[in-house]
Amino acid sequence: MMAEYVNNKGSHKGKRSSSTSFHHPSSRVAHSQRSTRGTRESGEQRQSRSFENRRRNDRKNFNSRNSDVRSSDHKYKRGNQHSKWDDRTDSNGFRHHDSHNKRLDKSSSTGNERRFRGGKRNSYSSTKKRYSPDQNYRSRDERSSKRANKDPQIPEWVDPRDLPSDIRRDLHMLSRENANRVASHMIASYALIDEDPKEALAHAKAARDHAGRIAVVREHTGIIAYRTGHWQEALSELRTARRIGGGPGMLSLMADCERGLGRPERAIEMLNSEYVKDLDETALAELRIVVAGAHEDMDEYDAAIAVLEKGNLDPSQVGDTAVRYFYAYADALLAAGDKDKAIDWFQRVVAIDDEVLTDAVDRLEELEN
């Protein structure tokens, strides 16, 4: 049909074609209206036309009234980014009359007057001091120097260079001044442990205060606390050192701290800890010694002997660990009532205890007499 319409339109310019052609629906209405002009209108047609005229007049009057309103309210057009119904009077564009948005004007209210979701803001929030770049910020060295005034006096004979190199390397993250200070306190605490245990612990704590995030320093503090009988503090420091540095930590000392705190059952549980598999032979031997002692604390002498017999009891062993291990085994045998076998092992202890680490000689004399 479209092709026929184009052909007819091209071949009959200015004339209406009698053949079938494409007409838009509006053209048919117009043709129908023109064909009825001049003819006599029926009653229904007159009534319909009268209704159309009244409706057209009503629409014209309505548009006229609206145009007057729009002309008077031109400032509320969309171009001004708000309408007359917004009633936005504050500087931040909030609607004061809107029940869903009752924020107050920030420019005219204080922090405590401003309303927030969940109720009124706590009073401390407006007075809380916040850091700003122009404030005087104390560096880590300045804070460390301030704490140094409360530290025990470092003896004149202490030289920080005497600290073993492997421990010294762990202090590399500190400034030179602070590293020397920490090293000096560690050396002083080691040197004073037998002469003045209280002062030794004070030096160890001073080293910890200046290098609290270094595992070897926390471990050192735990060892000094252990040797001075501060079991709870020693246990806390040793656990912290393990958490910072990783690894099994000093399980034997931690187990002995549990014994000192009157909790031998916890010391025994450490032999089944997940960390045991990471212990070397020496550390495992030390842990077995402590666990055997915990069994003796609970009068479980046979269990103590069983724990030690699972370790290395080779008589050909020498060294400090062998001395302590053989001594613990002899003591457990004696507690269990096996006097003859206990004497035999005490004699082996005396044979290898060149530095007299134990009282095996005295114990042997008592048994023989």
How far is residue 124 CA from its own chain's centroid? 25
Domain count, the chain: 1
Taking alpha carbons only, the member of 243, 271, 240, 241 closest to residue 255 is 271
Any residues with CB less than 8 A from the CB of 153 and at least 6 apart, and which?
none
What pLDDT digit, counting tens, does each position of 247-304 carry? 999 999 999 999 999 999 999 999 999 999 999 999 999 999 999 999 999 999 999 9
CA dihedral 67, 70, 71, 77 (to 10 degrees): -140
**Considering all CA atoms of the chain, what is the largest pairwise distance in Å, rounded to the nearest integer?**
156
306: pLDDT strictly greater than 50: yes
CB 241 within 8 A of CB 215: yes
CA distances from 271 to 121, 142, 279, 296, 305 (A): 54, 45, 11, 15, 15
Q: Is residue 192 included in any domain, yes or no? A: yes
* Two structure tokens written together for 263: 């909790």
d(CA 126, CA 47): 77
Of residues 5 and 163, the one with the higher pLDDT is 163
At 325, is the pLDDT very low, low, confident or very high (cuts 50, 70, 90)?
Answer: very high
Q: Please report whether residue 200 resides in a domain.
A: yes
* Residue 364 token pair: 């042997």
Q: What is the pLDDT of residue 202?
A: 97
Q: What whole-number distance in Å separates Cα of residue 164 and Cα of residue 155?
A: 18
Q: Looking at per-residue confidence, does 363 or 62 come out higher?
A: 363
Instruction: Tell me if 249 sits within 8 A of 229, measured CB to CB.
Output: no
Q: What is the DSSP string of 255-286?
A: HHHHHHTT-HHHHHHGGGSTTGGG--HHHHHH
Q: What is the DSSP letter of 219?
A: H
Mean of pLDDT values over 315-340: 96
Q: Contact 47/32 with Cβ under 8 angstroms?
A: no
CA distance 364 to 361: 5
Residue 199 sits in a domain whose CATH number is: 1.25.40.10
Residue range(s) defining the domain that contains residue 217: 140-246
How far is 216 from 172, CA to CA, in rounded Å? 12
By C-alpha distance, which of 289, 239, 235 is closest to 261?
Answer: 235
- Residue 55's pLDDT is 63
Indicate if the alpha-carbon torsion angle 54, 57, 59, 62 is positive or negative: negative
Confidence of residue 114 (pLDDT cuts 50, 70, 90): very low
What six digits make up the tokens of 316?
A: 């050909």
Q: Which amino acid is at 251?
A: L
Q: Which of 260, 259, 238 lies closest to 249, judged by CA?
A: 238
Q: Is residue 148 part of a domain?
A: yes
Residue 218 counted as domain residue: yes
User: Mean pLDDT lowest for which of 137-151, 212-226, 228-242?
Assistant: 137-151
Stretch 327-349: mean pLDDT, rounded? 96
Is 64 a domain residue? no
Residue 341 has pLDDT above 80, yes or no: yes
Kindly state whether residue 305 falls inside one of the protein's structural domains: no
pLDDT of residue 369: 80
Residues 289 and 325: their CA atoms lie apart, in Å, by 6
**What per-residue confidence (pLDDT) applies to 77?**
47
